[in-house]
Structure 1
Amino acid sequence: MTTKKKVLIHGTGFAGQGHTQAFRDAGAEVVGIVGRTPSVVEAVAQKLNIPYFGTDWQQALTTCKPDIVSIATPGGAHVEPIKQAINAGCHVFCDKPMTESGETATELYQLALAKNVKTAFAASFRYMPHIIQAKQMIEEGLIGEPTEVECISHFNLDPNIPFGWSHRIENGGGRLNNNFTHLLSIVTSVIGDKILSIKGEVRNDMPKAPVVEGVHNFIERRNFIPKDINDPSLEWKDCNVEWSYTVLMQLESRLPASNPVSVLFKHGGLVPRFNEDHLVFHGSKGSIYIKGHYGNGPLYLWDETKQWKEIPLPNTISDLLPKIEDDTQRSWTYLASKLVKDVSGQPVEPYQTFKEGSEYQNIIDLIRSNTD
């Protein structure tokens, strides 16, 4: 009989709970969970039926002896726990962003190589069904030579979202870390991962944010927006990250192409959208348009008929992916399954590792410095 791989989770919020489900769906055993606040980690462990819980990561590594650790805390809290896990011989599944800087991300990548542990980097929306569909259609030649990609999104976030990790660079915040990472992963998966040039600019539209107690789960932070923003007793803290960005990039196409593929990433965190967020892949013979900022769908093809027509998702792709409705959970589960199979010695297709995670962090540093 095959023994289930043991997984230790670091983080009790939205990602930590999602990673727990992902690894269980992947056939692993979640043996423990670690968080900052004793009462919170105990409540989450009981809710998810996880046998071990605590606030001391090193102690948890020693007690649980996991095969794999899952890092689901904000990016600024990743470095030391990952170092400790790698030094303990654990394989690592890490959510985006990998760390708060290219320097620390590169250090972790090199440490993982030196210690011969496997890593997975969860900028995982490259596994969205219509993204896989677009990649297959381009490989089939349906748009000819790839020429251009555009990624357009506007989130219309409330500028009074309570202060937290997402407002500070050192904590792994910013839209580049938490939006661009997914889009870069998507585009390189479809077109090719060799980046020829990059330049960009960022803008901080939210110089301050209100301080509110009780925010634990990232996705529930809107529920804590103060009802009276002008309350003189309200505390405010400075924000030092970008909420909007524009990035221009050139990629070498994985398929033969006469010229580099031009890519535009345009994101406005606080501004409203007029039409749908979208991804478009243009080619010499046609184009593919996908609605949604991460390619949620549906997908449309422009071809020799000179009209957009919706293309249904093939059953082969539906059958490939886990039968999970939520896009984020399905993508986590798919990547977690790859890592578990790889760690178990089973053949598996290539997936994103700390190699890509460290590259992305260095690219983000470059964009923020506004140099090329």
Structure 2
Amino acid sequence: MDRKLKVLISGTGFAGQGHADAFRAAGAEVVGIVGRTEQVTRDVAEKMSIAHFGTDWAAALETCKPDIVSIATPGGAHFDPIRQAIEAGCHVFCDKPMTDNADTAVQLFKLAQDKGVKTAYAASFRYTPSVLHARHLVTSGVIGEPTEIECISHFNLEREIPFGWSHRKKDGGGRLNNNFTHTLSIVASVVGDKILSISGDVRYDLGRAPIVDGVHNFATRRDFIPKDLNDPALKWGQSDVEWSYTVLARIKSPLAENPVSVLFKHGVLVPRFSDDHIVFYGTKGAIYLKGHYGSGQLYLYGADRTWTALPVPPEIAKTVPDVKGETEQCWHYLAREFVRDIQGATVAPYPTFREGCQYQQIIGLIRKNDAWSDVSHLA
């Protein structure tokens, strides 16, 4: 394909602007951007030199006639724009979560299959250099057969962050939608994506959050925390999603005879004592990745029975986009692979609506909180 692929962006905040930069770096042309508010959309379009802007998604699809649409809004606003885009024959790049519930995610997955369009699902922290390095080591047999994995993170997030989409289930909020999707994708990229069984517990432990006007960019929401939380005029919103979870999974890996046991533990409101981390254990060693998405230093535990810090190999480092910010770096990586795939190049497997649909169904099962056995009657 000689011509540049045309991209239409849905969303004007941190993700929308990040997606636009990523597709431009991948060689595509960003021809339009759509947002909720006319003036905000105009300002972003002018800042980013995007020709078409507006608040009418259907009209933008008709005017811009994009090859690709990039969905960068909260999950609760994904279904209709994606459905319309697929019906128009567009390929779809969608940030996580895919939608706000399993049923709509299944519908979009099947529709994309029926229409023959390509999809990308941006549970994309699997593309940090350390995770790519870990995948190389594990698939090379350095730790033997993988046996178990732990993903541990505690954010100590301020409870007073203004009420918004992340607090509401119907908007695609909750930590399973916006944290677990990344860690599950990381694990699947390293040991295999055949998820056999799942069990979990969630806690709706935030309660309420202050309602504050003017919050537009998710990345700067902390700047809007009210200075006086006891102000009687302050209004409050009630959160109806989980802010902590514990999930157990069993994954069939082509690298191991037995299923791999995985623990996902996340508490967004509690303080950490030691580093957040992801650890891959095997029959011959282990790999420790520092950070809640494993994007920090990698350590290998090998035959010498000591932990050794390893640098990212040059052949992996050169594949990582040279941009600031881990989130942006991963968007750039996935957008590049997606564009190359659409253009007919051979690329490695990347997350698609298959994963997005599967993850949304798994999240629905975990949120039921019904995997408990009553032992209160036992002696």
**Which bin holds the TM-score, normalised by the shorter protein?**
over 0.9
Cα displacement (A) at 1:258: 3.4
1:156-194 per-residue CA deviation (whole Å, 9 max, x = no partner) reads 110111010000111000000000000000001101111
**Corresponding residue for 2:36?**
36
Q: What's the counterpart of residue 363 of structure 1?
A: 362
Aligned mates of 1:237, 1:131 — CA distance in 2: 37
**What runs of 5+ residues in structure 1 fail to find an aligned partner?**
none
Offset at residue 254 of structure 1 (A): 2.1
| Cα drift, residue 277 of structure 1 | 0.4
Structure 2 match to 1:130: 130
- 1:90-131 superposed Cα distances (whole Å, 9 cap, x missing partner): 000000000000110010000001111110000000111111
- SS of 1:200 mapped into structure 2: strand
Q: Partner letter of residue 275 of structure 1?
A: S
For each residue in 1:317-358, what CA deviation from the matched residue of structure 2 results, as whole angstroms up to 9, or x when unmatched?
Answer: 011221223211111011111111121222222111100000
How many residues get paired? 371
Q: Residues 161-310 of structure 1 correspond to what in structure 2 (within 5 A)? A: 161-255=161-255, 257-310=256-309
Aligned position for 1:3: 3
Separation of aligned partners in 1, 2:356 and 2:370: 20
1:364 CA drift (Å): 0.3
Q: Quick one: percent identity of the two aligned structures?
A: 64
CA distance in 1, matches of 2:254, 2:324: 31
Q: How many angstroms apart in 1 are the aligned matches of 2:340 and 2:358?
A: 25
Counterpart of 1:341? 340
For 2:220, the aligned partner's letter is: E
SS in 2 for 1:185: helix
2-side partners of 1:303 and 1:353: how far apart?
Answer: 34
Partner of 2:158: 158
Question: Deviation of residue 36 (structure 1)?
Answer: 0.4
**Match of 1:86?**
86
Aligned counterparts of 2:174 and 2:56: Cα–Cα separation in 1: 28
Please report how far the alpha carbon of residue 29 of structure 1 lies from its aligned counterpart in structure 2 after TM superposition. 0.1
Shift of 1:303: 1.0
State the shift of 1:2 in Å.
1.3
> Unpaired runs of 5+ in structure 2?
372-379
Counterpart of 1:316 in structure 2 is 315
- SS of the residue 1:358 aligns to: helix
TM-score by length of 1: 0.98
> What is the TM-score of this pair, normalised by structure 2?
0.97
- Give the structure 2 partner of residue 145 of structure 1: 145
Q: Residue in 2 aligned with 1:102?
A: 102
Distance 1:258 1:83 in 2: 40
How far apart, CA to CA, are the structure 1 residues paired with 2:350 and 2:275?
29
The code of the aligned residue for 1:121 comes to Y
Q: Tell me, what secondary structure is at the counterpart of 1:83?
A: helix
Q: Whole-Å Cα distance in 2 between the matches of residues 275 and 366 of structure 1?
A: 30
Counterpart Cα distance in 2 of 1:80 and 1:166: 19
Where does residue 376 of structure 2 map in the other structure?
none
Whether 1:351 aligns to 2:320 is no
Q: 1:138 Cα shift?
A: 1.0
Name the structure 1 match of 2:53. 53
The 3-state SS of whatever aligns with 1:133 is helix
Q: CA RMSD in A?
A: 0.9
Structure 1 stretches of 4+ moved >2 Å: none
